[in-house]
Structure 1
Amino acid sequence: MPAPPASPSGQDAASPATGERRSTAFLLVYGLAYAGGVIAYMPLLSLFLPIKVEEIAGDARLGLFTACIVAGSIASSASNILFGWLSDRSVARGGGRRRWVTGGMVALALSYAFVAAAASPLAIILAIIFFQTAVNAALAPLIAIMADEVPDAQKGTVGGLLSLGYPTAALLSASLVGADFLTEPMRLAIVMAAILACLAPLLAIPARRVADETPRPAIHAMLRRDLMIAWAARILVQIAGAVLSLYLLYYFESFFDTPPPRIAAWVGHLFTLAYLVPVPAAILIGRLSDRIDRRKPFLFAAAAVAALGLVGMAIANDWMQGAVAFGLYAVGSATFLALHSAFAMQLLPDPQHRGRDLGLLNLTNTLPSLLGPLLTWLLATPRDFGAAMLALAALALCGGVTILAVRGRR
């Protein structure tokens, strides 16, 4: 059945469709759009910001960087819930979510300009607050589109496709950092162009929601309880992800006596390789979990692999051991997070509040960005991350155990 045309009140408006499967082309277009969402934040937070903070603060970089991340995480948490709720209201009134994604991208372009212009500790903290607000104005409705428009029977496959976002963003990051002739504003402009290229195909497709079915009260209560369990499990695993995505450059600096920009380029290539390797496994496991309708065993196994990689990083004696261990962590973490996205969307108790509930679920991404830097500040030094890595390994394994307590889905 062809997709319904866009409503005059908004290109994203749509009435629920039947539960037929979506085309492979649409699933790929959504995966590309999600990659654009990852590109929106990963290059800046993982590589550009650490370099800029080091230029501003020098030896005091850990303190200023932590302040940027904590302030930005608070802004991210609040704005994701807000814009998810606003997109819910837009859908209920006959509008849609795609307009919010578009508005978020406009604000994101402005925030990049503020980041590039920042030259003092206060200025960079304020710029990151604005950036986090803008990026979540686009990401909150973008994630809700998956819940609205992808049937449950295909969410595992799409979850696997989401894992493509990280290597894509990492490859772009490494390429830009390694290009010495590019200025910071030029790098950010290229990032913005890549985001637009990734998101434009999805924004051009009118929405077609899958059929909504409000669960019975007893099932509604079980799903809400299960969603909280899944929420807690993801937080425990994501704390490690928050630390490594932000502090990996500093971790490898403990093994090198090389200028930070050169290490940043090398770390960017490591990000690319480490996040590219898990993609086939994540897609295969996602499809397999769709076919057998079981996700919990795969989630537990993935968390255990991530924890093993973190132990390896803690005991590494040189950069090669650290890189191999990080690769093992990345395989487990990327598979867990991709599959968890599909699993959690099946636990949403109310179709009318998907954007809001996914905003609350997004706290599993932002709260770790508060807890992780604080844990790193307490346990790590610029030359020793061992204790911090062991603590993260324990938390990741606890996350894998926690997900087994979900009862409403397998």
Structure 2
Amino acid sequence: MPAVDAPAPRQSARFLYLYALAACGGSAAYVPFLTILLPLRVAEIAPGGSLHLMARIAFAGAIAASLGNIVFGWASDRSQRRAPWIAAGLVLSCLLLAAMPSAPGGGWLICLIVAWQLALNLMLGPLAAWAGDTVPDSQKGLLGGLLALAPAAGALSGALVTWQGLVTAEHRPVWLAGIVAAMVAPLLVLGRPRPMPQLMAPRALADVAAHASLRAVWKMWLARLLVQVSEASLFAFLLLWLRQLDPAIAEHRVAALFTAVLAAAVVVALSVGRWSDRHDRPIEPLAACAAIAASGLLIMTLSRSIAPALIGYVVFGLSSSVFLALHSTQTLRVLPQPQHRGRDLGLFNLTNTGPSLIMPWLVLALVPRYGFPALFIVLTVLAASAAIILALMARAGRATKFPEPA
């Protein structure tokens, strides 16, 4: 009788769902605070200089987040344990978040933000690496689909803590910290992932294969950066552009559009992620999403009225959200060595923090002189470039599989 290959080990559904819930907690930790609560606090502290203070906070926070994610990812690599780092980051970030209303001035607020960003990435860096330690390639598409829940959870958390009459302004960060803890703690207490030693064993790569792997890493990194710059630019300036087309459009209509796109992205990402798992084709969906995102931006470039503008944004927002969710897990395929997974994911995290440094200068260089269509043309080129990079990568068949661990 010929030998029958044993089925590839799979991670438990319980761990996958609890991990997705913890990722939602990570999103809830910073999305409502940075987009709603922090600007309100800045307006209270510096009513005449809120834009200047927000710019300083954004710059200092992005630097702290970038360094913290790399350093703490590397530290969790060295310790070969993720959960203690995640727990420490959860406790510290929640305490610092709750302390934000006590900042007496702009300088203290900047210091608190820097400390909070470091603590938050003490949690997020090892959390991202834990997925690489525990989730096999055959389930990475599913996990990527589940991670599409995270942006929606961040938006819903913000709506909850700002619900009129539910929580007073000074208690909102405390409530938000409680929501984050309730989402992340179950993973630490109940997760108990099945061991995946094949995901942790050092890989013996030949020099040529190692070189090809490095090229794949940089292609994935660059493709995400290009899409993230486009996404960050629209996230910050969408309302301003829509009000140029229709001054009467209400902010609640735009907020509802954001929510609808994020909700639809969950369904689409789960379907596409499962398809990529079944067919073992992880890169093609990413290339397709980037191409569709570019088409949405092109529609926005050509729009001169509100209806096609909203259609263009829905096309872009849906495809870019699916792209970012799936890319987060498929990146784990191309990282060449498990013993450096946390550090390498910290370097990939620069694609998340870097756009906040790039985007304001890009917008200021183009919009005042040439208008929003010029910005959208540049963003279309960026998204289309990401699609081309990934399509060529998929065609070559590189970086989707590695040799068996030594």
**TM bucket by the smaller chain?**
0.7 to 0.9
Which SS does the other structure have where 1:371 is aligned? helix
Aligned residue type for 2:137: D
Distance 2:138 2:16 in 1: 12
Shift of the 339–73 alpha-carbon distance from structure 1 to 2, 3 Å rule, reads: same
Aligned residue type for 1:356: R
Is 2:384 the counterpart of 1:397?
yes
1:363-401 deviation digits (Å, cap 9, x = unpaired): 1111112111221233345x9644333322221221111
Q: Retained in 2: the 8 A contact 1:47–1:268?
A: no
Q: Which moved more, 1:334-343 or 1:312-321?
A: 312-321
Task: Write the mapping of 1:175-190 to structure 2, written as runs, cut at 5 A.
Answer: 175-179=160-164, 182-190=167-175
Q: Retained in 2: the 8 A contact 1:118–1:124?
A: yes
Structure 1 equivalent of residue 327 of structure 2:
340
Structure 1 equivalent of residue 55 of structure 2:
66
Distance 2:236 2:31 in 1: 9
1:135-163 deviation digits (Å, cap 9, x = unpaired): 11110000011000001110111011100
Aligned residue type for 2:356: S
Q: Retained in 1: the 8 A contact 2:66–2:350?
A: yes
Structure 1 equivalent of residue 31 of structure 2:
42
**Superposition TM-score, scaled by structure 1 size:** 0.84
Q: Retained in 2: the 8 A contact 1:239–1:368?
A: yes
Structure 2 equivalent of residue 234 of structure 1:
224
Q: Which moved more, 1:40-49 or 1:343-352?
A: 40-49
Which SS does the other structure have where 2:334 is aligned? coil
Distance 2:372 2:17 in 1: 38
Specify which of 298, 306, 331 is matched with residue 318 of structure 2.
Answer: 331
Shift of the 247–87 alpha-carbon distance from structure 1 to 2, 3 Å rule, reads: farther
Q: Which moved more, 1:81-90 or 1:217-226?
A: 217-226
Structure 1 equivalent of residue 357 of structure 2:
370
Aligned residue type for 2:374: A
**Superposition TM-score, scaled by structure 2 size:** 0.85
Q: How far apart are 1:129 and its partner, in Å?
A: 2.3
Q: How far apart are 1:273 and its partner, in Å?
A: 1.4
Shift of the 203–394 alpha-carbon distance from structure 1 to 2, 3 Å rule, reads: same
Distance 2:353 2:234 in 1: 14
Which SS does the other structure have where 1:295 is aligned? coil
Which SS does the other structure have where 1:21 is aligned? coil
Aligned residue type for 1:216: L
Shift of the 249–89 alpha-carbon distance from structure 1 to 2, 3 Å rule, reads: farther
1:291-328 deviation digits (Å, cap 9, x = unpaired): 11112221111012222333444455566654443322
Distance 1:251 1:157 in 2: 35
Structure 2 equivalent of residue 220 of structure 1:
210
Specify which of 63, 86, 89 is matched with residue 104 of structure 1.
Answer: 89
Q: How far apart are 1:124 and its partner, in Å?
A: 4.0
Q: Retained in 1: the 8 A contact 2:95–2:177?
A: no
Q: How far apart are 1:256 and its partner, in Å?
A: 7.6
Q: How far apart are 1:247 and its partner, in Å?
A: 4.2
Is 2:286 the counterpart of 1:296?
no
Q: Retained in 2: the 8 A contact 1:115–1:124?
A: yes
Larger radius of gyration: 2
Give identity over the alignment, percent: 37
Q: How far apart are 1:123 and its partner, in Å?
A: 4.1
Q: Retained in 2: the 8 A contact 1:45–1:246?
A: no
Q: Which moved more, 1:170-179 or 1:318-327?
A: 318-327
Which SS does the other structure have where 1:409 is aligned? coil
Distance 1:310 1:124 in 2: 36
Q: How far apart are 1:245 and its partner, in Å?
A: 3.5
Distance 1:192 1:155 in 2: 29
Distance 1:258 1:53 in 2: 27
Q: Retained in 2: the 8 A contact 1:161–1:279?
A: yes
Q: Retained in 2: the 8 A contact 1:70–1:373?
A: no
Provide structure 2 residue ranges, at least 5 long, that are not aligned to the other structure: 1-6, 401-406
Which SS does the other structure have where 1:355 is aligned? helix
Shift of the 117–81 alpha-carbon distance from structure 1 to 2, 3 Å rule, reads: same
Q: Retained in 2: the 8 A contact 1:171–1:271?
A: no
Specify which of 203, 223, 229 is matched with residue 188 of structure 2.
Answer: 203
Which SS does the other structure have where 1:346 is aligned? helix
Provide structure 1 residue ranges, at least 5 long, that are not aligned to the other structure: 1-17
Structure 1 equivalent of residue 375 of structure 2:
388
Specify which of 257, 260, 270 is matched with residue 273 of structure 1.
Answer: 260
Structure 2 equivalent of residue 14 of structure 1:
none
Structure 1 equivalent of residue 399 of structure 2:
409
The CA RMSD over aligned residues, in Å, is 2.9
Q: Retained in 2: the 8 A contact 1:35–1:164?
A: yes
Shift of the 319–67 alpha-carbon distance from structure 1 to 2, 3 Å rule, reads: farther
Distance 2:177 2:41 in 1: 18
Shift of the 392–62 alpha-carbon distance from structure 1 to 2, 3 Å rule, reads: farther
Aligned residue type for 1:221: H
1:157-193 deviation digits (Å, cap 9, x = unpaired): 1011100111121122233334255333322222211
Is 2:339 the counterpart of 1:352?
yes
Shift of the 283–216 alpha-carbon distance from structure 1 to 2, 3 Å rule, reads: same
Structure 2 equivalent of residue 11 of structure 1:
none
Q: Which moved more, 1:25-34 or 1:346-355?
A: 25-34
Structure 2 equivalent of residue 5 of structure 1:
none
Distance 1:243 1:127 in 2: 26
Q: Which moved more, 1:267-276 or 1:112-121?
A: 112-121
